[in-house]
Every structure is written in structure tokens, then in C-alpha cells.
Structure 1
């Protein structure tokens, strides 16, 4: 069965724009509900789909975080080109790392970081996520158990330099968190893995924003935008954005 890959989407709302970023092995499906909620609250939302994502794990490994970061920058510039001067950035997981980096390098009205692995010190766990994604993807393709096992074994032998590059871009972003001065919201699932739980308070402490907050979700794991408390996540993000003084010059 051929799987139709998710695509980038733009939801037109008001003059305030939000760049919405998904995570590693994820897709724009993970943030679509939040995007629609933001649109309903009067925001224009653009969510770029990173190169290599949404397709096979083999295709994903042929790309890397430099490609994905370029997609993020292109998404920011897309909003600028459409005439949106006031932009906030919201991301989850690796998308949260990217949202922090956007806050470090570009003028933004606000930054929302959801479950960012900013304290990751090695690539442990990254291949596990890719491997789990591969099992699900190949199952949806309708492949036999024997085919899936053989392709997973082949995947283990595939060069994984992009995983090292993820670690590098995460470390670089971590070093410059003090550059973030825009209002910042850190959101974290309390049932998430330790690396993410350790990262949340670290991000909160390191950003140099005068207006910042951290929210924990007691019943949520990693992808909080699709988890049990997804409706509260949507409300908290929009409430944060609503409270920003968008009239202040970047």
C-alpha cells in the first residue's frame, strides 16, 4: 500500500502569525490540531514539513538536520514574504529545539518549546525512535513480517551520520539559549523520558526572557499535542500567545 506523506500547511487567520514545527520522525499531523485551534483564535499558522519526513525511514536517513533547519528558515521567510511582520514560533521535540534556535537567530514575538531534548548529550535513543517509526511505517505499507524483519536489519547497517548532526545542532542551540529575550513558554509532559524532563527547567532558567513560564502536564508523555491533555495544551499555547504584547518592536 502506498502511503501518502503529510504536507506542509498554512491556515490563514489574523495578522499575527505562528511558525509551527514538528519533531524528528514526526510530521505536520502531530501539530495540525494545535494549528487549527490557533487559527480559530485568530492566528495565521504555517507548519513546514521537513525534507525526508513522512516517507520511508530510508528516505529520512538520506537527509539531515541542516536540510530540516533550512525548511524551518524557509517557513519563517514564507510568512515574511506573505506580509506577516509579527511572528511567534512554536515547536515540539526536535521542532522545539528549532523553535529555540529561531528565537536565538530571528526576530520573533514569542517562543514556545514543547518537550525539547536540549540536554541530550549523545545520540542514544535517536535510532530507537527511527527504528520504531520504521516498524510502524513498513507495517502500514502492508509488507510481510519477513520483509519487515529483513528491511529493519538493513536499516541497522545504514550510515546514520544525520543522527550525529542532530546532536551537534542541539548542543549549539543549548549554548545560545541566553540569546532568547522574547517571551518564552516551556511545556513538558511529566511522563516523558528523563532527558526531556531535565531539559525543561534548564531551558526555563537559561533563556534571558523577562516574561517566561513553564507548564507541566501530569498525564502526558512526549508528543503532548496528540496526548491525553492535548486540549489543555492547545488552550495554554493560545493563552500564552494572547498575553504577548505584539505591539512591541522586535
Structure 2
């Protein structure tokens, strides 16, 4: 099992605005996949916090001991830390499972806005639903393959996935799917049309089922699953910034 620990570290950059941004990485991933976005937003004056979710950035064996409750506790701890640091306004931005965790946070805690990138409601690998039985046959499944070099060079992820964790991810998705109507804050849903992991129709489902008065759906023709590192990342970062500025100006936030 190979993982670059330096890349997998959580990070925190303190800006001059009164808004704290919580960046939440994906399943078996790490804050590395959010680092370029975090640096961009920090340059715009935002404080950014990217926690390492429980069971991630260590070993697949350690991840096998965690579940959706543990991952969400990591998110809550990072949220509480931002509050304790004096940030009255928090925005959650999540990629993939991080997007699902961001939506769960939006249903349970006060947020200024939420942004989901490639958040799964429907996944391409239909074996996810079988994980509850497969975990008794084998403990891990091999990584399906490396990403393109321009993405892979930034990643710090596992080469094996615990089947029990896949089952818990499936449960998390189903839970959040049923709670989307509890999301009533401004939301931006972002989805690449070349996503190899999540069915793009997931984005439309999220957009249609949240109860937010202010919501925006952005599609990207040439983006795969790790949108924050792919060909259209600069446009994605700019669209996130524009959305945040609209929210901040609308609500007179700093």
C-alpha cells in the first residue's frame, strides 16, 4: 500500500474575511484533492480548513475500522473548530463523499452556503449495493486504476478499499438522499459530464430535491470525477468564487 503522507495532511490557511470555508475530501482520499482549491480561495481572502477524515491518510486497515459516523464526526470537529476560532459564517464545500457529508452538515448545522462537487446519489459501480454481503467474502477490493497523470500527481489515496467502508458509504448516500429537503440554504451543485465514478444525473437529483430558495447547477463538459484537479479546475474555482461573492454580498457578510 502506497500513500504520500505529506500530501495527505490536513491544512488550515487563515484569511482576512469573516467567512470560514470547510473543504471536505472524498472517500479513500485526502485533503490533497482539495489543496489547489484551498490555496485559490485563501488568495481571495477566505479562511480555509481541510480536515483529514477518520480512517483516511493512514492505511486501508485503519479505514476498515471506521464508518459514516466517524467521518461525519471529523466534519463536525472541523466545523466546531472554525466556530471556536471566531468565524460566524461557514461555507461547506465537498468533493464526492465530501459533497454528501457537506449536504448532511447543511441539514444539521447553520451554514452560510453549501457547495457539492461530484456528489454521488447514483454511482456507476452497481456493486456498491452488494457490499453488505461482499464484505463477508473479502475484506478489500483493489483500486480500479490510476487517474490521468495531471490528477494522479496531486493525490494521496489508497490502493485498496475496505468493503465494509463501501457499505457504510452506501448507507450514508441513502440517508442524505432522503434528507435533501432539509437543505434550505444557498447551494451550488457542480458536476462533470465525464465523471467515471458518479452518474452525472446525481447532480440534477440533488438540485431538484433541495429546498433552497437560491440554488445553482453548473455542468462541466470536460471534467472527470476529481473535478478540483482536472482540466476545467480554473473555471470551477472561478465559478465557486463568483457564487461565494454573490452569497456574501446578498447577506452582507465580510
The more displaced of 47-56 and 75-84 is 47-56
Q: Is the 8 A contact 1:89 1:112 kept in 2?
A: yes
Q: Is the 8 A contact 1:24 1:94 kept in 2?
A: yes
Match of 1:164 in 2: 167
Give the whole-Å Cα distance in 2 for the aligned partners of 1:217 and 1:135. 21
C-alpha distance 178-7 of structure 1, shift in aligned 2 (>3 A)? same
Give the whole-Å Cα distance in 1 for the aligned partners of 2:3 and 2:210. 44
Match of 1:64 in 2: 67
Kindly state the Cα deviation for residue 124 of structure 1 after the two structures are TM-superposed. Answer: 5.4
Match of 1:181 in 2: 184
Q: Is the 8 A contact 2:94 2:100 kept in 1?
A: yes
Match of 2:11 in 1: 9
Q: Is the 8 A contact 2:21 2:46 kept in 1?
A: yes
- Structure 1: gaps (5+ residues): 137-151
Deviations 1:114-148 (A, max 9, x none): 00112358615989x96217989xxxxxxxxxxxx
Deviations 1:71-105 (A, max 9, x none): 00001001001010101110000000001111111
Show structure 1 runs of 4+ deviating over 4 A: 124-127, 133-136
* 1:131 paired to 2:146: no
Normalised to the residue count of structure 2, the TM-score between the two structures is: 0.82
Q: Report SS of the residue matched to 1:118.
A: coil
* 1:32 paired to 2:13: no
The more displaced of 52-61 and 6-15 is 52-61
Give the whole-Å Cα distance in 1 for the aligned partners of 2:232 and 2:189. 15
In structure 1, which of residues 176, 191, 209 is the aligned counterpart of residue 194 of structure 2?
Answer: 191
- Work out the number of aligned pairs and report it: 229
Larger Rg: 1
Match of 1:246 in 2: 251
Kindly state the Cα deviation for residue 51 of structure 1 after the two structures are TM-superposed. Answer: 1.7
Give the whole-Å Cα distance in 1 for the aligned partners of 2:145 and 2:220. 28
Give the whole-Å Cα distance in 2 for the aligned partners of 1:44 and 1:224. 21
In structure 2, which of residues 101, 104, 110 is the aligned counterpart of residue 101 of structure 1?
Answer: 104
Give the whole-Å Cα distance in 1 for the aligned partners of 2:9 and 2:242. 27
Kindly state the Cα deviation for residue 53 of structure 1 after the two structures are TM-superposed. Answer: 1.1
In structure 2, which of residues 222, 230, 236 is the aligned counterpart of residue 233 of structure 1?
Answer: 236
- Structure 2: gaps (5+ residues): 135-139, 148-158
Q: Report SS of the residue matched to 2:5.
A: coil
Normalised to the residue count of structure 1, the TM-score between the two structures is: 0.83
